[in-house]
Amino acid sequence: MPHPARYLLFFLLFLLNHYGYSQEVSRSVFASNQGDRKWMVYQDNYRALYRVLFNEASEQLEKRSAYVSTLRTDREWIAYKEELKRKYGASLLKFRKTPLNPQITGRLEREKFIVEKIIFESHPGFYVTGCLFIPKKRQDPAPAILYCSGHSENGFRSETYQRSIINLTEKGFIVFAFDPVGQGERLQYPDETTGKSMIGGPTTEHSYAGIQTLLTGSSISDYFIWDGVRAIDFLATRKEVDMERIGITGRSGGGTQSALISAYDERILAAAPECYITTYKRLLQSIGPQDAEQNPYMAIKKGIDIPDLIHMHAPKPTLIVTTTHDFFSQQGAREVLNEAKCSYNALGAANHIRFAEDMGGHQSTKKNREAVNVFFMEFLNLPGDPTDHEVDLFSEEELRVTASGQVNSSLGSKTIFDLNREYLTAGELTADSIRERVEETVGTRFDRKVTAAVYTGKFLAGEAEVEKYFLENDRNDYALPLYVIRKQEGGGKGLVVWNHPSGKDKLLEEPLLTLLLDNGNTVVSADLPGIGELHDPQFRGDGFVQGVPFNYTFLANLVGKSIPALQAEAIDLLMQFIGSSNCHFRSTVKAVGQGTMIPSLLHYALLKGNFEKIALLDPPPKGNYFVESKFYDPLQAFHVAPGSVGWYDWQDLSSFLPIEDFTRQD
């Protein structure tokens, strides 16, 4: 029999291993020092970037809702509408109506209707492709419906959209269906060999081009709206069309366009956006911001919510078309209806706001298509049978408008990239004006106060000793993880702030870190929102381009902020930690800016100061890179503030700061 003492020794060894006395200390700041577990309250702290943006949006939306709830009379609602339209249409003032130069490139004939293949220019040299469906038996002049396509690669040629288009045509409506930017025959990044996009599908095309537009202080939604405006201008050239009876509809992305265009263009009498309408609150709570054209420039900051697209169209007829299980929140759609009733009732048009709902997902159902038919027959004054019938569809090739299938190769069309350069507004900043412009553009709010620096242990990395902390703040929205790194025998010569683009843990692999530590410096490094332990690997969206999550950028834009702003605000927390009396750091601090972390560091340094010297490693491209490079690096663009390009870039910021290469001198 084994001696009992041997069992006791085995048990003690087990306990030592189990409780970690002999295991490697976790490098995570949030490790609870009990296996791989993290502090319970901070297990989802990595979602910090979205949480901060969502909280900002919620604050702004609540302020807007509180104001809207006070509106009662028709005069109050009219004044609200006028102010909305002023803000909503401001960014489209840069556009001018130029010759459409319409062309008919072909003609198809069916028993009940004909199809004319149309090309027109919404901007000089910027071509729009579409098909005009004209019923043979019709009123003279006849009502017309602008049909907007959702995110199909083949545009309005999709089977789903053709079904609606042909049904409406066979009931006596003239229907003009056109390709949105990045779809059908209007790819912005076509591969002439494959005929496909070099960037990705429709949402990727929209987002890639849309980011360049955002960086210059606008939104690609402007181009989507303007295409719709010019499509209505084209309808006005046709003698068959009654311009007093214009409707608009479309599903998904087409629902977005229908809502955006009808909010802007007064010539649209009846609008039926399908599978899009919700509130920003419910959208951001559920699936998050969608691709670029669904995010007008600083919309939420300007006080514009999705219901306002309906208010701007009021008191003209609107049908909100929905399904119970759409990924666009049905609860949000119902809330839009309830709010829209307030403006319609006040304006004496309670019967003009309608709601269609059917069981289903993100789809057009037979019941909803028939509801749309009934709606247009009533308000565009075209009585008939609203039944949705089976129809014979065209092949994609039959509905091809250009010879090659793309406006780029057939017509040498300009792209959003070209127009973005043409419409760019540039300015020059002085020492007296740069601070105000930068604050207005980047959207920083240095209003968080550190309430506690929570020590969670230390570990060794070579000859370095790394202390782990997380910083809690008075807004309680996230905790900032950071390392304090010094030689084991201690550092006292200086203090350097260095936030690595890949996170504080990666900093430990940098050869330059060893040099700084050998020279007696202490290095403080944090994971800024979106980086390291504040990176959310589960975040998904339809604005991802080459793995870069531009859906964050779209939300930041909506609330008037930017990724550099959020990261600069985090640097402010780090600097509060350094300046606290219990940290015993020297008062003068140097900083290293590296790669994509340079913009956030320089924004902080310009707006708050505090650095004796700043060294820059691996600097990003200059600002004009984003308007001169059609195929830009998405990762670099992610760290640029919307609205800054044309006004300033990181080099302009650095010219006002103490930039020196101290890293190899001290």
Residue 284 has pLDDT above 90, yes or no: yes
pLDDT value, residue 664: 66
pLDDT value, residue 72: 97
Residue 430 has pLDDT above 90, yes or no: no
Residue 14 has pLDDT above 80, yes or no: no
List pLDDT tens digits, range 401-413: 999 999 999 999 9
Q: Does domain 74-422 have CATH number 1.25.40.10?
A: no
Q: Which of 246-250, 352-356, 579-583 has the lowest mean pLDDT?
A: 579-583
List pLDDT tens digits, range 48-105: 999 999 999 999 999 999 999 999 999 999 999 999 999 999 999 999 999 999 999 9
pLDDT value, residue 490: 63
Per-residue DSSP letters for 26-47?
P--TTB-SSTT-B-GGGTTGGG
Which two structure tokens, joined as six digits, stand for 42?
Answer: 């901070």
Calpha distance 664→648 (Å, rounded):
29
pLDDT value, residue 7: 42
Q: How confident is the model at residue 543 (pLDDT cuts 50, 70, 90)?
A: very high
Q: How confident is the model at residue 488 (pLDDT cuts 50, 70, 90)?
A: confident
Name the residue with higher pLDDT: 491 or 35: 35
List pLDDT tens digits, range 349-392: 999 999 999 999 999 999 999 999 999 999 999 999 999 999 99
Q: Where are the domains of the chain?
A: 4-43, 74-422, 434-664
What's the rounded mean pLDDT across residues 618-642?
95
Query: Could you give the C-alpha distances from 283 to 318, 538, 568, 611, in angstroms and in order?
Result: 21, 18, 27, 40
Residue 10 has pLDDT above 80, yes or no: no
Q: Which of 205-214, 274-283, 481-490, 640-649 has the lowest mean pLDDT?
A: 481-490
User: Closest Cα to residue 601, out of 641, 575, 571?
Assistant: 571
What's the rounded mean pLDDT across residues 106-125?
98
Residue 547 has pLDDT above 80, yes or no: yes
Residue 537 has pLDDT above 70, yes or no: yes
pLDDT value, residue 665: 52
Say yes or no: do domains 74-422 and 434-664 share a fold. yes
Handedness of CA 454, 456, 461, 465 (dihedral sign): positive
Backbone φ, ψ for residue 421 (5° rounding): -70, -40
pLDDT value, residue 210: 98
In 380-424, where does DSSP find H-type helix? 407-411, 416-422
SS3 assignment for 441-484: HHCCCCCCCEEEEEEEEEEEECCEEEEEEEEEECCCCCCEEEEE
Q: What average pLDDT is seen over the chain?
A: 94
Calpha distance 129→149 (Å, rounded):
12
Q: How confident is the model at residue 425 (pLDDT cuts 50, 70, 90)?
A: confident
CATH superfamily of 434-664: Alpha/Beta hydrolase fold, catalytic domain (3.40.50.1820)
List pLDDT tens digits, range 164-175: 999 999 999 999
pLDDT value, residue 492: 66
What's the rounded mean pLDDT across residues 461-478?
96
* 253: CB partners within 8 A, 6+ apart: 148, 149, 150, 151, 180, 202, 276, 291, 293, 294
Backbone φ, ψ for residue 405 (5° rounding): 95, 0
pLDDT value, residue 587: 62
